Structure 1
Amino acid sequence: MTTRQDTDVLVIGEALIDIVETPSGTTEHVGGSPTNVALGLGRLGVHCALLTQLGHDRHGLMVAEHLRQSNVTVLPETLVLPQTSTAIAHVAADGQARYEFDVTWDAFPAPNVVPSRAVHTGSIGAFLQPGAESVQQLLRDSEAQIITFDPNIRPALMPSRDAARRIFETTATIVAAVKMSDEDAAWLYPDLGADAVIDAVLSLGPKLVAVTRGGEGAVIATQDHLVEITAPTVSVVDTVGAGDTFMASLIQSLLGAGIPNDRGTLRDFGEDAVRAAAITVSRAGADLPWASETRAALLRARSVPVD
């Protein structure tokens, strides 16, 4: 593999189209947790490339254009599937939804472009075979300074809980930082409380673990410090993309300062991430914030007038 110095982060994982079918019509949106993280990084001004799997079809072009508009490079190795993966939500008149997944994640060789600094992976791409083994091999071979992981558990597409936990724990031994939601933690470790999950994951080798808790904020921890972060008060439209926004912000912070060795910096990381997520939940869909918006949110938090 060759290194292209203008790529700070390589994101690896699924891209798909979320198709929402309701009695009033059908809408389509670009989705996939790793794809959202790449989108968020691009909007924050981070030079980011996405290694995913798309079809040579309308949906594949839709994904690529959506990412291009947010300054994300989609690697050429991405266009490999007969058709782009989809997740269809059939929403009845009473609001009840039935989900139908058509997701393919094949094995793949290492790309010929790698980041100079960081790799991120997670979600379906880290668990669905045969591609999940390719992801782990790429992580093991990576010379990146920072590797991050968000399991973003999707039970309907997971192997058994025990098998998924083995994959999670194997991946966690390779990475520097793990971000998970409280729902991920409860699904993977149903017999452990939140603090015990953090301790268990840190014992696997990551230097930093963050657990998001929706409207209750987040907990972010290293071996030496644990900080609870309060979420800003915001009018929630929906929570789509909130965790991915948190992850993108956390990666940006890690690129800037590395793993924090003091409580203050750890708190700054967490507060930046929950502020960014608050922007996303205040509007519809996975509309992650741009750098100008996160800067304005920081100034407002510090009570500095914004022009």
Structure 2
Amino acid sequence: MILVSGESLIDFTPISLGDGYAYVPNPGGSPYNVAITLGKLRARVYFFGKISYDPFGEILYSNLIKNNVDTSFVLRDKYLTTLAFVILKDSEPYFIFYGDNTADTMLKEEEIPFIDSQKVKILHFGSISMIREPGCYVFEKMIFENYKNCIISFDPNVRPNLIVNKEQYLSRFENWVSRVDILKVSLADLKWLYGEEDLDKIAEKFINLGVKIFVVTLGKDGSVAYQKSNYVKVPGMKVKVIDTVGAGDSFMGGFLYYLYKLGKTVKKEISNLSLEELKNILIFANSVAALTCTRRGANPPNLDEVEKFMSNLYY
């Protein structure tokens, strides 16, 4: 099974209303969106995080159940839910977060679940849950305790407005990456982290740190995945874009789902994926992300929708 760990929150996404905008609440949070994507694709997925008992928390919790995500690892508490307002700039989402000492941040070390590596094959982490105290240290500890026995998947989903010290973040980030098997980033992430450094050189750096598969999403231009001595690039897909909120998360969910479907859930197996297998994974993940862009908010497609969409693709 796949265990996704991290924040859950409410995204307020804008809709036109006369001459202005109104904001509509939608379940969100990068890891949460990954779990929802996997559930809608019918993977066996669990979510670990702390969710409020407040009305927004009830929305988040019931949405997990509605979308086939097992809540056995979910913790509930009295703290309020984190809120995020989505500002669209040049069709790209910019997030403003509201919430200190909110439920998703208030995890304690003693609340870390036991991970049975015979059952849990892939652990996914990422985004703002890795930097918001005190809960961030719980997720970091889970990576350090389990990277030898489980596939670790990581998507930093960098939010610069929440990072106080870039140097310290970069040091922690590379420490996490040294325990990661699958690393997925966006071009925006890389530009903020490493400036204009050459993509191939960055890929080489991460592979040398121990990453087995390094994936970069390229927006409308598709995605590229690097292995130790090979790489494969898949172009983007033309769709009518409503907004791109959650596209990267749904891509990540699609990527992990296809590994799950192939039965490639052991470290050695993902190290030895063929280029054809890797290409097919990217095509599937691109399709999931493309469909997410055709609807408002982080609302990934189900498996039937993806298969129907892919039946009209030609590669």
Return the TM-score normalized by structure 2. 0.85
CA spacing shift, 1:107–1:69, aligned 2, 3 Å: closer
The one-letter amino acid paired with 2:242 is V
Q: Which of 1, 6, 10 matches 1:17?
A: 10
Contact preservation (8 Å) 1:238, 1:281: yes
Question: What does residue 72 of structure 1 align with?
Answer: 69
The one-letter amino acid paired with 1:233 is K
Write out aligned runs for 1:152-171 (5 A).
152-171=157-176
Q: For 2:303 and 2:38, how far apart are their aligned partners in 1?
A: 9
The one-letter amino acid paired with 2:60 is V
Q: Secondary structure at the match of 2:239?
A: coil
Q: Does residue 186 of structure 1 match 2:186?
A: no
Q: Does residue 243 of structure 1 match 2:248?
A: yes
Q: Secondary structure at the match of 1:18?
A: strand
Instruction: Give CA deviations for 1:37-57 in whole Å, capped at 9, x if unaligned.
Output: 000000111111111122111
Q: Which of 265, 282, 287 matches 2:277?
A: 265
Write out aligned runs for 1:47-196 (5 A).
47-75=44-72, 77-89=74-86, 99-103=96-100, 104=102, 105-108=105-108, 109-112=111-114, 115-142=119-146, 144-196=149-201
Q: For 2:40 and 2:74, how far apart are their aligned partners in 1?
A: 23
Q: For 1:250 and 1:81, how far apart are their aligned partners in 2?
A: 34
Shift of 1:217: 0.8
Shift of 1:113: 6.1
The one-letter amino acid paired with 2:137 is E
Q: For 1:85 and 1:72, how far apart are their aligned partners in 2?
A: 20
Question: What does residue 209 of structure 1 align with?
Answer: 214
Question: What does residue 304 of structure 2 align with?
Answer: 292
Q: Secondary structure at the match of 1:74?
A: coil
Q: For 2:94 and 2:129, how far apart are their aligned partners in 1?
A: 24
Question: What does residue 199 of structure 1 align with?
Answer: 204
Q: Does residue 32 of structure 1 match 2:29?
A: yes
Q: Secondary structure at the match of 1:128?
A: coil
CA spacing shift, 1:75–1:155, aligned 2, 3 Å: farther
Instruction: Give CA deviations for 1:8-63 in whole Å, capped at 9, x if unaligned.
Output: 11111100011347755442111100000000000111111111122111010010
| Structure 2 gap ranges (5+) | none
Count residues with an aligned counterpart.
292
Q: CA RMSD in A?
A: 2.3
Instruction: Give CA deviations for 1:194-244 in whole Å, capped at 9, x if unaligned.
Output: 222222222211100000010011111100211111011111111111101
* Residues 270-279 or 15-24, more deviating: 15-24
Q: Secondary structure at the match of 1:300?
A: coil
User: % of aligned pairs identical?
Assistant: 28
Q: Secondary structure at the match of 2:311?
A: helix
Contact preservation (8 Å) 2:82, 2:97: no
Q: Which of 202, 218, 237 matches 2:223?
A: 218
| Structure 1 gap ranges (5+) | 1-7
* Residues 64-73 or 100-109, more deviating: 100-109
The one-letter amino acid paired with 1:99 is I
Q: For 1:164 and 1:90, how far apart are their aligned partners in 2?
A: 24
* Residues 278-287 or 76-85, more deviating: 76-85
Q: For 2:57 and 2:95, how far apart are their aligned partners in 1?
A: 24
The one-letter amino acid paired with 1:127 is I
Q: For 1:208 and 1:90, how far apart are their aligned partners in 2?
A: 32
* Residues 188-197 or 174-183, more deviating: 188-197
The one-letter amino acid paired with 1:153 is V
Q: Secondary structure at the match of 1:19?
A: strand
The one-letter amino acid paired with 1:49 is Y
Q: Secondary structure at the match of 1:273?
A: helix
Q: For 2:73 and 2:153, how far apart are their aligned partners in 1?
A: 23
Q: For 1:81 and 1:155, how far apart are their aligned partners in 2?
A: 29
Contact preservation (8 Å) 2:54, 2:78: no
Instruction: Give CA deviations for 1:58-93 in whole Å, capped at 9, x if unaligned.
Output: 0100101111110012245521351111113589xx
* Residues 62-71 or 291-300, more deviating: 291-300
